[in-house]
Structure 1
Amino acid sequence: MALVFRLAMASQTIVHQPDEIWQYLEPAWGRLTGHWIVAWEFHEGIRGWLVPMLLTPSLALGHAIAPDTMLHLWLTRGLLGLLSLGVVASFFAMGERISRQHAIVAGWVGAIWVEIFYFAARPSGDGIALTLTVPALWLAMRLRERPSMRLAGMLGLLLGLAFIVRFQYAPALALIGLLAVSGDPRRTLLPLAGGSLVAIALGALADMAAGAPPLLWLWRNFAINLGENRSASFGTQPPWWFVTQIGATWHIAMLVLLPSLLTGARRFPFVAVIALVVIASHSLIPHKEYRFVILAIALGVFLAAIGSVDLWKALAGRWRVAERINATIALCVLWFLLSAVVGATKPFSAYWGNGRAANTMLAKAGRTPGICGLALFQEPDLPMANYTYLNRSVPVMLLEGRRSAASAQAMAPAFNVIIAPRLSAPELPASYRQVECLQPHKAPEKQKFCLFMRPGTCTVPPGDFDYNTVLRRLGH
């Protein structure tokens, strides 16, 4: 079931946040093909190259097997989903420290809880850090009781990789490391530090392979996002936002989740501390997004799974009907229903369509026979274009602003395919005909992604209308 949900997610044209493309997939695609849309983060040098480097082989394999399809994306997301099964296994193993019933329920919840499997197949730092950190937490628990130099080295590697992938988790990662070495520091501290250094060295080597100064992005990220407050330009929220957002997302499920979570925290107080540290440390940063604390959310769900078993047992002692019901099956059904409720209602339900229309249209444009150049005309959001979904090494142009219609007329020989809103059709050169609009059931003003094309080839270069050139001019 865990694999089914994750592979289903891997097949979806969903982009939860633009970072998935422009900070991870697109630079990886650029390493592979030489063509990519460069986001401002890479111009400013505030992103590391380890994750793009790790994603490149699966993108390359998928592209080699079926170059005219989206296999490169399905394979990459599917691999991430497969790796995230370690979260399910870790939930089971941590639950087994209490009983087999706790293990089964916790593992089931790790497999089917919507917030966990949704982010499992996401090529983003948040989802990948979750995949690394939850197994590290289980390993730390085991190390504390049974110190091992080999396992300490493995734990150090996981913690170091999680730090490179999402350094904002540093306080939580440090606490996990302290838990691990508290059993026998003399035997575990050096191997753990060594494993962490290996991971950090891998991050530095990835930066160097991309031609970037090793690990300088860490300092620049602090300096620009916090020092210059650049991240705040994408929106700010009050310190209590994460708590209210989690409550809004779980809504009616909170009736079960909250008492179960509090009960489970008695079994695993350290897990509760880690979750609180993640939320507290991120609450200090003005710019907040739900995905930033997915680790805390997953750990909270684990605690609730553990607590639900204890609460059922307490209920069975007072309510005879509960004694005649198979507790494990009943709890698994209950958790499945709770996950379905959260996934099917707002605000989470809005996530299922994120980025679908824009990237579906890019993929359709890439499959247009004879495409030699693509223009994006008055696109609703910047950036939108990316070569990962376009899957064609052709020039891409951006026509925006008040002179976009005049620019389209002047530069028409540079492209033969346009993506534009439906209502913009009269402003396009007369030689272009509408091929398709996504979401045709909507009102014309809401049809933002339509495909237009003309016959013939491209005879001039994009010049100043090159997508990357325009992005830099606009500060993106």
Structure 2
Amino acid sequence: MAERRLGGVLLAVALVAGAAFRLYWALHDDGIYWPDEVYQSLEPAHRLVYGYGLVAWEFIDGARNWALPGLVAGLLGLGRLLGLTDPAGYLGLVKGFFALVGTATAWATWRLARVSGASSLAASAGAALFALASVPLYFAPRAMSENASVLPVVLGLALALAPGASRRTLVVGASLLGLAVLLRLQNGVFCLGLLGVLLARRQWREAGWALAVLSGWALAFGLLDKLTWGRWFHSAIVYLDFNLVQGKAASFGTKPFEFYFRILGRAMPGLSMLVGALALVGLPRARGLAAVTAAFLLLHSLQPHKELRFLVPALPLLAALAGVGLDSALRVLRGFPARATATVGVVAAALLSGASAGALTFRELGQYEHARPKDSAWDDQGAVNRLLEAAGRQDDVCGLKVETVHQAWTGGYSYFHRNVPLYPHNGPPRNSRRYSHVITLAGNEGAGATVARDGPLALVKLPVGACVPDPGYSWRLP
């Protein structure tokens, strides 16, 4: 009874602290880890709700389905109904939503550890390993498909893999996994993994039910593409052709097989070793979950193009396995004080990792390892995005040019909330009169007047009157 109470307390602490960390960074980081967090979600959603926005190649060729932008558009639409029509308002709503999804995923991690055989006490420590670890915290508020799909992945597996799960529970779990695929195609690995585990258990009837449910969700995937792109499974076909057949994803950079293990060890050295060791201890008792997790890790490690964010759906699974491993270790210890001390120690290690998340650098996340290894991973291009917001609030803005960075590394119209041309750094010259404002380095104002400053950058009003219309303006992201 004492262990169960302590487990409840530790779980509550992990969830509250994890939510606080996530919401803090959601409201204090305007930076970009990778352009996808804007141009695969926020920008197409902004275009749906407000009628304008930059269009990435994926939404020209149809390499993405509309499930994730549709979800974000629903949040933007809700914000609009609530009067949150300024970027600070609706972006805070979106980031806060994703932050809370991450917190809910920590609870689902606890449940997954429990159905995998961990005690309430050990499962709470497993949940803390996801709720408080620095890498999940870093990615949590970002509007990426990995973050949108991680909760249905973990909760779906927790329900579908539960021993003695009822038919209704199995159907709900499989449906959540189907939804996860709708949000991110790569999550199909978990669907195949579920079927493999059920067949390995000789649960023939359950496997049949799961297959039927997942087939229904596959049909929904195809239908969504048919309604939006005009062809069944269009986005999946184009995406797989681009990545697997043509291998063009490698143009974004390639990494060796061991990249993910090396970077996790670099970003969270002590905690990664702890999770890895405990997960190995828990493997014999949760072979199905371990096999599914290993398959996901292996397939992603075999792909040439790697980004740490791709592993987000697997991190709570590793934490749940660590919870099972901790339970095995606790069984060796005698007496409540020893077991409580060991568990609190694991939670404390996770809390220490979360408290140090603000010190993460790009090198530690495997991003810009050679170009900008010591730069903080937080608020990258945040100054540009805050000046985009400031420009959108200017009554006299009739066009804007960002001179300091490639347009893909800005927040686009999601931050510049004004239906006027937004030019890239290689756009028309200042004397073209196509735009009234520029974002540039402080000291490079020229004849313009500084309207706002943020760090080394300035928003400058050029000495022009009304802008000259640009009939050739392209909404395509360069």
Band the TM-score falls in, shorter-chain normalisation: 0.7 to 0.9
1:451 maps to a residue whose letter is: L
Q: Which residue pairs with 1:452 in the alignment?
A: 460
Larger mean Cα displacement after TM superposition, 174-183 or 223-232: 174-183
For the residue of structure 2 that corresponds to 1:57, the secondary structure is helix
Could you tell me whether the CA contact under 8 Å between 1:397 and 1:467 is conserved in 2? no
Query: Are 2:417 and 1:391 aligned?
Result: yes
CA distance in 2, matches of 1:329, 1:385: 41
Q: 1:54 to 1:307 in 2, by over 3 A?
A: same
Shift in Å, 1:310: 4.2
Q: 1:35 to 1:95 in 2, by over 3 A?
A: same
Q: 1:287 to 1:67 in 2, by over 3 A?
A: same
Q: 1:56 to 1:356 in 2, by over 3 A?
A: same
Equivalent of 2:151 in 131, 134, 137: 131
CA distance in 2, matches of 1:224, 1:273: 28
Query: Are 2:462 and 1:436 aligned?
Result: no
Q: 1:156-189 deviations in whole A, cap 9, x for unaligned?
A: 2212122222222323331123334666745434
CA distance in 1, matches of 2:79, 2:328: 46
Q: Which residue pairs with 1:442 in the alignment?
A: none
2:60 maps to a residue whose letter is: H
CA distance in 1, matches of 2:408, 2:124: 45
CA distance in 1, matches of 2:201, 2:23: 39
1:48 maps to a residue whose letter is: N
Q: Which residue pairs with 1:107 in the alignment?
A: 127
2:64 maps to a residue whose letter is: R
Could you tell me whether the CA contact under 8 Å between 2:134 and 2:268 is conserved in 1? no
Q: Which residue pairs with 2:470 in the alignment?
A: 462
Query: Are 2:62 and 1:40 aligned?
Result: no
Shift in Å, 1:292: 0.9
Question: What are the equivalent positions in structure 2 for 1:89-104 lying under 5 Å apart?
Answer: 89-96=107-114, 97-104=117-124
Query: Are 2:355 and 1:340 aligned?
Result: yes
Shift in Å, 1:259: 2.6
Could you tell me whether the CA contact under 8 Å between 1:399 and 1:408 is conserved in 2? no
1:67 maps to a residue whose letter is: T
Could you tell me whether the CA contact under 8 Å between 1:374 and 1:395 is conserved in 2? yes
Query: Are 2:89 and 1:74 aligned?
Result: no
Question: What are the equivalent positions in structure 2 for 1:130-279 lying under 5 Å apart?
Answer: 130-142=150-162, 145-180=163-198, 185=203, 187-279=205-297
For the residue of structure 2 that corresponds to 1:123, the secondary structure is coil
1:122 maps to a residue whose letter is: R
Higher helix content, 1 or 2: 1
Aligned-pair identity in percent equals 25
Query: Are 2:311 and 1:289 aligned?
Result: no
CA distance in 1, matches of 2:222, 2:340: 55
CA distance in 1, matches of 2:394, 2:190: 48
Equivalent of 1:409 in 417, 421, 431: 431
Q: 1:76 to 1:453 in 2, by over 3 A?
A: same
Q: Which residue pairs with 2:136 in the alignment?
A: 116
Q: 1:40 to 1:191 in 2, by over 3 A?
A: same
1:468 maps to a residue whose letter is: W
CA distance in 2, matches of 1:377, 1:17: 19
2:449 maps to a residue whose letter is: R
Query: Are 2:31 and 1:5 aligned?
Result: no
CA distance in 1, matches of 2:207, 2:140: 30
Shift in Å, 1:250: 2.1
Q: 1:148 to 1:253 in 2, by over 3 A?
A: closer
Structure 1 gaps of 5+ residues are 440-446
Shift in Å, 1:326: 4.1
Q: 1:267-316 deviations in whole A, cap 9, x for unaligned?
A: 323332222211211122211111112223332233334434544664x5
Larger mean Cα displacement after TM superposition, 286-295 or 374-383: 374-383
Q: 1:156 to 1:6 in 2, by over 3 A?
A: same
Question: What are the equivalent positions in structure 2 for 1:337-376 lying under 5 Å apart?
Answer: 337-341=352-356, 344-346=359-361, 347-348=364-365, 350-376=376-402
Shift in Å, 1:18: 0.8
Structure 2 gaps of 5+ residues are 1-15, 366-374
Shift in Å, 1:343: 5.7
Question: What are the equivalent positions in structure 2 for 1:302-341 lying under 5 Å apart?
Answer: 302-311=320-329, 314=332, 316=333, 323=338, 326-341=341-356
Could you tell me whether the CA contact under 8 Å between 1:152 and 1:188 is conserved in 2? yes
For the residue of structure 1 that corresponds to 2:445, the secondary structure is helix
Query: TM-score scaled to structure 1, two decimals?
Result: 0.84
Question: Higher relative CO (CA 8 A, sep ≥ 6), structure 1 or 2?
Answer: 2
Could you tell me whether the CA contact under 8 Å between 1:59 and 1:76 is conserved in 2? yes
Q: 1:204 to 1:420 in 2, by over 3 A?
A: farther
Shift in Å, 1:329: 3.3
How big is the alpha-carbon RMSD for the aligned residues of Structure 1 and Structure 2?
2.9
Could you tell me whether the CA contact under 8 Å between 2:264 and 2:272 is conserved in 1? no
2:451 maps to a residue whose letter is: V
For the residue of structure 2 that corresponds to 1:435, the secondary structure is strand
Q: Work out the number of aligned pairs and report it.
A: 447
Shift in Å, 1:433: 1.7
Q: 1:39-69 deviations in whole A, cap 9, x for unaligned?
A: 1222222111111112111111213312234
Larger mean Cα displacement after TM superposition, 229-238 or 245-254: 245-254
Q: 1:171 to 1:68 in 2, by over 3 A?
A: closer
